């Protein structure tokens, strides 16, 4: 009986393996289980279960994807090199090079202290505790945060063998399924990392089932209140009446399609994805009951013509909702996802979302890159070619990384370029160019060809001249206007101007400037810094101290870095602002005090309670205060020594309160010179409002066509002042904007 009980998990797991496995493949998986079980025999999870259960669950997730036997064997063994006495050489000897290399790849991803593992390994071993403590010390000394480093190493591993990342995703998915056994602080950290890195990674690989579950689990632990709220509403939606509605819609659709000679159709109610509902609620500013994808169906048909035929029948039967149609068959997503998406007003006058796809598209959508395991397995045909295309695409993302010298810059570029939505624009010849959302004509130019980017001087979008900072939208046709010779402008690297958004273009611009003579870069770098300091009203500066603070040996090295684009002016100003005393740099009078919490006063134990300052004692930030509940008016805030409070008999109506976060701002005079035009002052006011900058005083003088505007604005620091001066100077008709001396 004991032997049977011990083998029960293995027998159950072996029953989950793909039915096309031969005897040798099943034997490989079973041997991997035996080795993993022996290696982890004395290790437990935080849940109290044997550690081998985690290995089985990871392998089970891979089996659901119909992974090759070597991948499942690596899934069973993925923690042995990291946590036990087994070596890579042992694995090579016992299981071959492929399995050993896959385990090695997963191990490299988990070398980061704690963050990248996200597991529940329970080990009271003293050496382990010592190593963990040392790892925490090392983590604090890193120049870039661990989450970004995880992201970078994940992509590097993917460039070598994407199967490594799939094993890591399966590992993370099971850890998320059992995350409730971890302490709350670790749950939130691991959940945030899952939403920031692993769920987007599954999305980029097109593994939608895994992406959805990772997102929902991450959301569950990061924002449990909102998760439970939406989950309860979804549960309410699943009452018998709701299910009856969906069944009626499915029957109606099958009969309608059959009537139009569209047969062999499968229709299902589309799964409810809590995190996507939450994001749509935020994006559209709508409550739960108005989010369209809560009621949705998925139609699977035989082939592509049937997809469009079904779409035509649906659109002629019910009124389509404007802006809700997407054709991902003609223009697949960059992770090769294909489907038709639409939303219509159904017979009951309520929205219904519909997805239409073929069986092959559905398989790809569910398992993405994992749907083509034939890669490296000797497979042939269309699916193998599709996988090859994905591998080429993944490697292309890595092509330009060697041009980036700063590792943190590489990571931030990957976050911007890879993990956000995409836009699809057209060249004048009709070729489709895939760019990250927010890309500008300059980004487009560098994507087409480096030389075109260097010589870019203007752009036409859909036949109209546009500014180079304009963000491109899907469907735009872009034509770049070039000069015969010349290079990029240093202004393109100014993040305040928003002319270049992708790391790829930014890197190529920097490479161009690095090729210029150091002497020229030195002169231009010094001139640009002195000009900015003069504009900010800073006349006395120790460049040697500034250079040392920015980790340069001499001021000349600092100037050269500025001149070639390795260092930005905004970064120098930000650092200078942090080091200097703001009161000495900015203040021309008494600092202005703001309360920046959500309601000015923080009420202990309550949120969103209306509050007002008592006129009898007029408390100011820094005073000891107390709240007094007034019926119908929220809480009135008094000083604790206010006579009215000391005399009150209704002690139960007193609340413990505290001041919100206090933020100091400083009044700074600036002067703007511009050619006068209608709406000039409105544009300046709108710009300052977008920066949350208050205008304390304004004076406008117009002499013929020249307008001189003197403002006093309330600024937090030099970095903010530099940014708003740059933005004002780039408004139409503005000649210059600079800080003036007080008085």
Q: Which of 64, 82, 229, 237 is labelled catalytic?
A: 82
The C-alpha angle with vertex 283 and arms to 278 and 287, in degrees rounded to 5, equals: 55
Range among 195-199, 341-345, 399-403 rated most confident: 341-345
pLDDT at 354 over 90: yes
**Confidence (pLDDT) at 602:** 64
> Residue 236 — pLDDT band, cuts 50, 70, 90?
low
pLDDT per residue over 17-32, tens digit each? 877 788 888 899 899 9
Q: Which tokens sit at 109?
A: 């991803």
Label residue 96 left, alpha or beta by phi (over 0 means left) and psi (-120 to 50 means alpha). left
Closest CA to 102 of 57, 39, 59, 152: 59
Whole-model pTM over 0.85: no
> Residue 362 — pLDDT band, cuts 50, 70, 90?
confident
Adjacent-strand bridge partners of 481: 458
Average pLDDT of the chain to the nearest whole number: 77
Q: What percent of the chain has pLDDT over 90?
A: 22
pLDDT per residue over 560-600, tens digit each? 888 877 888 888 888 877 765 444 444 444 455 444 433 45
CB 195 within 8 Å of CB 352:
no
216-220 average pLDDT score = 92
> Residue 455 — pLDDT band, cuts 50, 70, 90?
very high
> Residue 617 — pLDDT band, cuts 50, 70, 90?
confident
Please name the residue ranges forming H helices in 68-145.
69-77, 80-83, 88-95, 97-109, 126-140
Query: Quick check: is 124 catalytic?
Result: no
H helix or E strand, kind and range, residue 625? strand 625-630
CB 160 within 8 Å of CB 395:
no
pLDDT per residue over 410-448, tens digit each? 334 444 444 445 677 878 876 667 788 889 999 999 999
**Confidence (pLDDT) at 715:** 84
| 150-164, 228-242, 346-360, 392-406: least confident range | 392-406
**Confidence (pLDDT) at 465:** 93
> Residue 211 — pLDDT band, cuts 50, 70, 90?
confident
- Strand 706-715 to strand 296-301: parallel, antiparallel, or no bridges (unpaired)? unpaired
CA distance 26 to 30: 6
pLDDT at 452 over 60: yes
**Confidence (pLDDT) at 584:** 47
Please name the residue ranges forming H helices in 480-596.
503-514, 518-535, 543-549, 555-564, 569-579, 582-585
pLDDT at 238 over 70: no
Tokens 């190493």 belong to residue: 153
**Confidence (pLDDT) at 440:** 94
Q: Which of 37, 57, 83, 293 is labelled catalytic?
A: 83
pLDDT per residue over 397-410, tens digit each? 433 333 444 434 43
Long-range CB pairs of 579-587, under 8 A, 24+ apart, other chains included:
579/549, 580/718, 582/664, 582/666, 582/716, 582/717, 582/718, 583/666, 585/538, 585/718, 586/666, 586/668, 586/715, 586/717, 586/718, 586/721, 587/666, 587/667
Residues 6+ apart with CB under 8 A from 441: 456, 459, 461, 466, 468, 470, 472, 478, 480
**Confidence (pLDDT) at 355:** 93
**Confidence (pLDDT) at 303:** 92
Query: Quick check: is 82 catalytic?
Result: yes
CB 685 within 8 Å of CB 695:
yes
Helix and strand tally (H, E) in the chain?
A: 31, 24
> Residue 121 — pLDDT band, cuts 50, 70, 90?
low
Domains and CATH numbers, the chain: 2-222 (1.10.3210.10), 229-368 (3.30.460.10), 405-497 (3.10.20.30), 518-580 (no CATH), 597-660 (no CATH), 665-739 (3.30.70.260)
Closest CA to 149 of 176, 187, 114, 179: 114
- Taking the CB of residue 402, how many other CB atoms lie within 10 A of it? 9
| 40-54, 321-335, 596-610, 615-629: least confident range | 596-610
> Residue 47 — pLDDT band, cuts 50, 70, 90?
confident
More confident call, 515 vs 651: 651
Q: What percent of the chain has pLDDT over 70?
A: 73
Please name the residue ranges forming H helices in 223-321.
224-237, 240-259, 274-284, 304-317
33-51 average pLDDT score = 87
pLDDT per residue over 637-682, tens digit each? 888 888 888 888 888 888 888 877 656 677 888 999 999 999 899 9
More confident call, 121 vs 440: 440
More confident call, 367 vs 532: 532
> Residue 148 — pLDDT band, cuts 50, 70, 90?
very low
**Confidence (pLDDT) at 708:** 93
701-720 average pLDDT score = 88
DSSP 420: S
């Amino acid at each position: 009986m004991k032997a049977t009980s011990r083998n029960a998990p293995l027998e159950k797991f072996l029953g989950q393996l793909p039915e096309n496995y031969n005897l040798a493949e099943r034997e490989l998986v079973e041997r991997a289980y035996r080795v993993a079980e022996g290696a982890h025999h004395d290790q437990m999870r935080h849940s109290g279960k044997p550690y081998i259960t985690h290995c089985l669950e990871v392998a089970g997730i891979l089996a659901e994807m119909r992974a090759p036997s070597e991948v499942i064997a690596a899934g069973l063994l993925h923690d042995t090199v990291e946590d036990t006495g087994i070596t890579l050489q042992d694995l090579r000897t016992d299981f071959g090079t492929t399995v050993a290399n896959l385990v090695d790849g997963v191990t490299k991803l988990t070398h980061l202290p704690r963050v990248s593992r996200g597991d529940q390994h329970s080990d009271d071993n003293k050496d382990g505790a010592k190593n963990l403590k040392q790892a925490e010390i090392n983590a604090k000394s890193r120049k870039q945060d661990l989450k970004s480093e995880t992201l970078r190493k994940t992509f590097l591993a993917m460039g070598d063998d994407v199967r490594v990342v799939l094993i890591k995703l399966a590992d993370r998915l099971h850890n998320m399924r059992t995350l409730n056994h971890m302490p709350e602080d670790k749950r939130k950290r691991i959940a945030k990392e899952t939403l920031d890195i692993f769920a987007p990674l599954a999305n980029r690989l097109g593994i939608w089932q895994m992406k959805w579950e990772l997102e929902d689990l991450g959301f569950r632990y990061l924002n449990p209140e909102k998760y439970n709220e939406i989950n309860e509403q979804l549960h309410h939606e699943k009452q018998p009446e709701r299910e009856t509605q969906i069944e009626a819609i499915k029957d109606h659709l099958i009969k309608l399609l059959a009537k139009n000679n569209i047969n062999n159709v499968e229709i299902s109610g589309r799964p409810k994805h809590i995190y996507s509902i939450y994001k749509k609620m935020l994006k559209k500013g709508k409550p739960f009951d108005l989010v369209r994808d809560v009621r949705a169906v998925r139609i699977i048909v035989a082939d592509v013509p049937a997809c469009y035929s079904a779409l035509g029948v649906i659109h002629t039967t019910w009124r389509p909702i404007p802006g809700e149609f997407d054709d991902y068959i003609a223009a697949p997503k960059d992770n090769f996802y294909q489907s038709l998406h639409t939303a219509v007003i159904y017979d009951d006058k309520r929205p219904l979302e519909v997805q239409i796809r073929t069986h092959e598209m559905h398989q790809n959508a569910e398992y993405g890159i994992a749907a083509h395991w034939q890669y490296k397995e000797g497979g042939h045909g269309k699916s193998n070619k599709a996988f090859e295309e994905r591998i080429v695409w993944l490697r292309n993302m890595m092509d330009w990384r060697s041009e980036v010298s700063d590792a943190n810059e590489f990571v931030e570029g990957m976050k911007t370029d890879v993990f956000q939505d995409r836009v699809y624009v057209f060249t004048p010849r009709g070729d489709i160019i895939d760019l990250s959302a927010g890309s500008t004509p300059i980004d487009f130019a560098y994507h087409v060809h480096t030389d075109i980017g260097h010589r870019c001087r203007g752009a036409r979008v859909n036949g109209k001249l546009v500014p180079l900072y304009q963000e491109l939208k899907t469907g735009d046709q872009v034509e770049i206007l070039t000069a015969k010779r010349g290079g990029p402008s240093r202004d393109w690297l100014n993040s305040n101007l928003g002319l270049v958004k992708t790391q790829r273009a930014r890197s190529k611009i920097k490479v161009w400037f690095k090729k210029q003579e150091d002497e020229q870069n030195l002169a231009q770098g010094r001139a640009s810094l002195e000009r900015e300091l003069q504009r900010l009203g800073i006349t006395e500066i120790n460049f040697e101290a500034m250079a040392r603070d920015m980790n340069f040996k001499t001021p000349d090295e600092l100037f050269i870095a500025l001149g070639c684009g390795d260092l930005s002016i905004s970064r120098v100003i930000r650092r200078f602002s942090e080091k200097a005393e703001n009161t000495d740099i900015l203040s021309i009078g008494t600092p202005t005090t703001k309360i920046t919490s959500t309601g000015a006063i923080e009420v202990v134990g309550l949120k969103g309670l209306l509050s007002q300052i008592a006129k009898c004692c007029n408390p100011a930030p820094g005073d000891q205060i107390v709240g007094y509940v007034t019926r119908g008016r929220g809480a009135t805030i008094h000083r604790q020594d206010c006579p009215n409070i000391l005399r009150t008999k209704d002690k139960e109506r007193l609340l413990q309160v505290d001041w919100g976060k206090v933020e100091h701002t400083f009044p700074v005079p600036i002067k703007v010179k511009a050619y006068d035009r209608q709406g000039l002052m409105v544009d300046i006011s709108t710009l300052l409002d977008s920066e949350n900058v208050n205008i304390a005083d304004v004076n406008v003088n117009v002499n013929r066509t020249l307008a001189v505007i003197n403002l006093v604005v309330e600024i937090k620091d030099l970095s903010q002042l530099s940014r708003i001066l740059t933005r004002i100077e780039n408004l139409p008709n503005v000649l210059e904007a600079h800080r003036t001396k007080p008085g």
